[in-house]
Structures are given as C-alpha cells and as structure tokens.
Amino acid sequence: MTLPPVIAIDGPTASGKGTVASLVAEKLGFHYLDSGALYRLVALASEKEGIDVKNGPKLGVLAQKLVISFEKGQIFLNGENVTEAIRTEAIGLRASALATHTEVRSALVGLQHGFRQHPGLVADGRDMASVIFPDAILKVFLTASAQARAERRYKQLIAKGISAKLDDLLRDLQERDARDSSRGAAPLIVAEGAKVLETSDLSIDQAVKAVLDWYQSKGA
C-alpha cells in the first residue's frame, strides 16, 4: 500500500507556517501536524517536573512517556488542556533549547510519523522536509524578515490582550533563529528540493494559494 502524501512546511519562528499549513490541510482535507507543539509540550512538562533544560537523557525519557492528544484544535497533555499554556514566549524559548538534544528529537519521531494517515498530511516545523518526512511530495521553506515576523507576533499578542514589547520579541526570535539554525541535531535548513516562500509582503491567502498551486503542479 502506498504511503499517504506529505506536504512539509518548514521555517523560522513566527513565519506564519502554522497558519498557512493548517489552512492548506483544511483545503485539501488532509491531517495536520504542528510538530513545534510537541517540543512545546516537552518544555511545559519538563518545567512542571523541574528538569534542567540541559539534561538531554532525562528530557528524552520524559518525552517518551508523555500522553499527548490533539482533539478539534485543542491540545491535551496527560489529560489536561494545555492549548494556551504552551503558546507563551517562555515555553517557546525553552522548547528551542531542549530541541537541541538528540534524545528529545528521537523520542518524538514515532509520534510524528503516526500523523501520516490517509488521505494525506501537512506537517509544519523545522525538520519536516530534511529529517522526518524526507520523501514529502512537496517541500516548502516559508520565511519572512525578522522585523515582519516580530511585528506579526506583536499584533497577535496584543489582539489576545497580552502585553508585549516589539524590541523584546525581535530579540527573542533572533535568539531562537540562531539556535534553531546552528544546532548540530536537525538544524533549520532549506532542504534539498524545497521551494522558498518569502511571505513578508504576502497575505495569508496568497501564501496558501502558492502552496496549493505548487502541490497541484506536482500532478496531485
């Protein structure tokens, strides 16, 4: 039996890949994997258990035993709804730090492969095209300037009533970009054969259309 097709969408933090990937999945009737959420779940759980972010072996064991479920856009960790709790800047930075450990990355591979179900999957993250789904039918590297990404994140937070400073957000995302791109294990890279989509001046609809057009041009 042939494996369901995968569209892999990688990119830096706040590039809009989550929004674009979930809309593409919706349009095609495909499943959706937000792989960053898995690293954020390990970040939240390890913070609760007081595990040092430098302790790769202990974090790997923790990542293996997490009971995670995704239901109708809500995310549950060991039965608790943590959809909002994993979205903070602090959890994002912690996730980026612990994602450097191979023990953590390997513990999450099987879980990610499990999302590949018929009729297909749209997966977003940092290493979807390079490591997790190297046979993806379409590989997209979605990006935008650091300034544009910081402004988007700022607007999202303010809209949610969360106070934020643009300068702090810009500094945090540059720190995260540098770490995600320079780490030894599965760094954020433009995978071979990936199409680069620069979204600084694109609307969400335009970005979604570009991905769908590429997918259709694959004869899918």
Distance in Å, CB of 36 to ligand DC, minimum: 2
Q: How many CB atoms lie within 10 A of CB 135?
A: 10
Q: What value does the CA radius of gyration of the chain take, rounded to a whole number of Å? A: 17
Cβ closest to ligand DC, residue 96 vs residue 199: 96
Measured in degrees and rounded to the nearest 5, phi and psi for residue 186 equal 45, 60
Distance in Å, CB of 131 to ligand DC, minimum: 8
Distance in Å, CB of 217 to ligand DC, minimum: 25
Distance in Å, CB of 205 to ligand DC, minimum: 21
Cβ closest to ligand DC, residue 147 vs residue 216: 147
Cβ closest to ligand DC, residue 60 vs residue 125: 125
In contact, 41 and 87? CB cutoff 8 Å: no
Q: How many CB atoms lie within 10 A of CB 167?
A: 10
Distance in Å, CB of 92 to ligand DC, minimum: 5
Query: In a 3-state reduction of DSSP, which class is residue 15?
Result: coil
Report the C-alpha gap between 206 and 89 in whole angstroms.
Answer: 27
Cβ closest to ligand DC, residue 13 vs residue 199: 13
Cis? peptide before 12, omega within 30° of 0: no
Which residues make up the interface to ligand DC (CB under 6 A)? 13, 35-36, 39-40, 92, 95-96, 99, 125-127, 176, 180
Cβ closest to ligand DC, residue 204 vs residue 220: 204
